[in-house]
Structure 1
Amino acid sequence: MPKVKTSKEEVLKKVIPILRTRGVQNSSMSELSKACGIQKSHFYYYFSNKEELIKEVLATVHSYFNYNFFKITDNSVLNISQKLEQLKLLLDKLFKASDGGCIMANTALETIHLDPIYKKEIQLFFHDFITGLQKLLETHYSKEDSLMLAEQMVQDIEGGILLTQIYDDSKYLNNAISRMEKIVLNK
């Protein structure tokens, strides 16, 4: 294998789709380094072990999601309908345009009962997802109702992602997003 200079960010960018589709248990460090086109030793330069790599992947995905999600929800220039349109585009990009669904949910389902090492990062991701939706809902609902509805929407979206993967049919995620829109708009 030729020696290739690559950054940690480039490695993470190449590893995330593989982990999203193959999962943590079915992805070896050798396989991941090969997919990145780098020597395994170079891979270990960035990540001392697989657990560190997975934590970095989850933190990177979480950071990317938060940046894009809160850029929409916290935008004071956009009205609620415009925010929803932007959120739909973001959810489509994250969960329909890429194979494998939600890497956070996949990793949780695969690892949480065996070794809760990634649990905190996954919890933070879903907490932020819920919090962002709750902010949108507080224009029409009480704080308590907003929290309950935001939790319900995240559950519905994650279920829609799962069923989209199982049936290879995006109608499940589309329906969840449509239900989210009706709740946020209080229709």
Structure 2
Amino acid sequence: MPKIKTSKEEVLKRVIPVLRERGVQNSSMSELSKACEIQKSHFYYYFNNKEELIKEVLATVHSYFNHNLFKIIDNETISTSEKLMRMEVLLDKIFRVSNGGCIMANTALETMHLNPSYKKEIRLFFQDFIVGIQRLLSSKYAEEDTLELAEQMVQDIEGGILLTQVYEDPKYLLNAINRMKKIILKD
């Protein structure tokens, strides 16, 4: 039986795993409402349509990732090595432990040619991911090298996430993270 009342945050929290696993196109509003234990009409109290819901989901994931990533990177009381260990835990929690991989990459691949309206939030997510890694690289590399290296690392991690999903083996993501650590911690 559907719940009578729930918060917008609770709706987003319950919708994200479904979208991560099933994708945007394969997730109907009816299915999403069942996952939230609310009536379909309740979605329209918070969101005018599915597109607005997806944009809010992407913004929520981006905000959560940024908050946690930069909380680690900007922590001046811990070493770079400790930052990387904490980043590994964060990446593992967000991309490997959760079924479906990276919701940003999944949504980009699934919808970019059908509905480019999500592109802005997806770009911001990856841009911030790259900037975060650039900050970690800045103490050991020239500024002009950090962008290319950071982009390479994000590409490697995203590829690792994909292969982890395809082969159901975490070694691909873990290998990408280990390559990133090795580059950042070089002497």
TM-score, normalised to structure 1, is 0.98
Aligned position for 1:63: 63
Which segments of 5 or more consecutive residues in structure 1 lack a partner in the other structure? none
Aligned position for 2:12: 12
Give yes or no for the alignment of 1:114 onto 2:100: no
Give a deviation string over 1:55-101, Cα, whole Å, max 9, x none: 00000000000000000001111111110111011111111111000
SS in 1 for 2:64: helix
Residue pairs, 1:1-187, within 5 angstroms? 1-186=1-186
Query: How much does 1:117 deviate?
Result: 0.6
Give a deviation string over 1:96-134, Cα, whole Å, max 9, x none: 111000000000000011121100000000000000000
Give a deviation string over 1:10-32, Cα, whole Å, max 9, x none: 00000000000100000011110
Paired with 1:48 and 1:28, the residues of 2 have a C-alpha distance of 15
Instruction: Check the 8 A contact 2:2/2:34 in 1, yes or no.
Output: no
Instruction: Check the 8 A contact 2:108/2:119 in 1, yes or no.
Output: yes
Paired with 2:159 and 2:71, the residues of 1 have a C-alpha distance of 25
Give identity over the alignment, percent.
74
SS in 2 for 1:48: coil
Paired with 1:4 and 1:159, the residues of 2 have a C-alpha distance of 41
Instruction: Check the 8 A contact 2:11/2:36 in 1, yes or no.
Output: yes
Query: How much does 1:4 deviate?
Result: 2.5
1:109 maps to amino acid: L
After TM superposition, which residue ranges in structure 1, 4 or more long, deviate above 3 angstroms?
Answer: none
Query: How much does 1:54 deviate?
Result: 0.2
Q: Call closer, same or farther: CA 1:2–1:86 in 2, change over 3 Å.
A: closer
Paired with 2:3 and 2:91, the residues of 1 have a C-alpha distance of 37
Query: How much does 1:147 deviate?
Result: 0.8
Which segments of 5 or more consecutive residues in structure 2 lack a partner in the other structure? none
Paired with 2:92 and 2:39, the residues of 1 have a C-alpha distance of 34
Query: How much does 1:149 deviate?
Result: 0.4
Q: Give aligned pairs, total.
A: 187
1:124 maps to amino acid: L
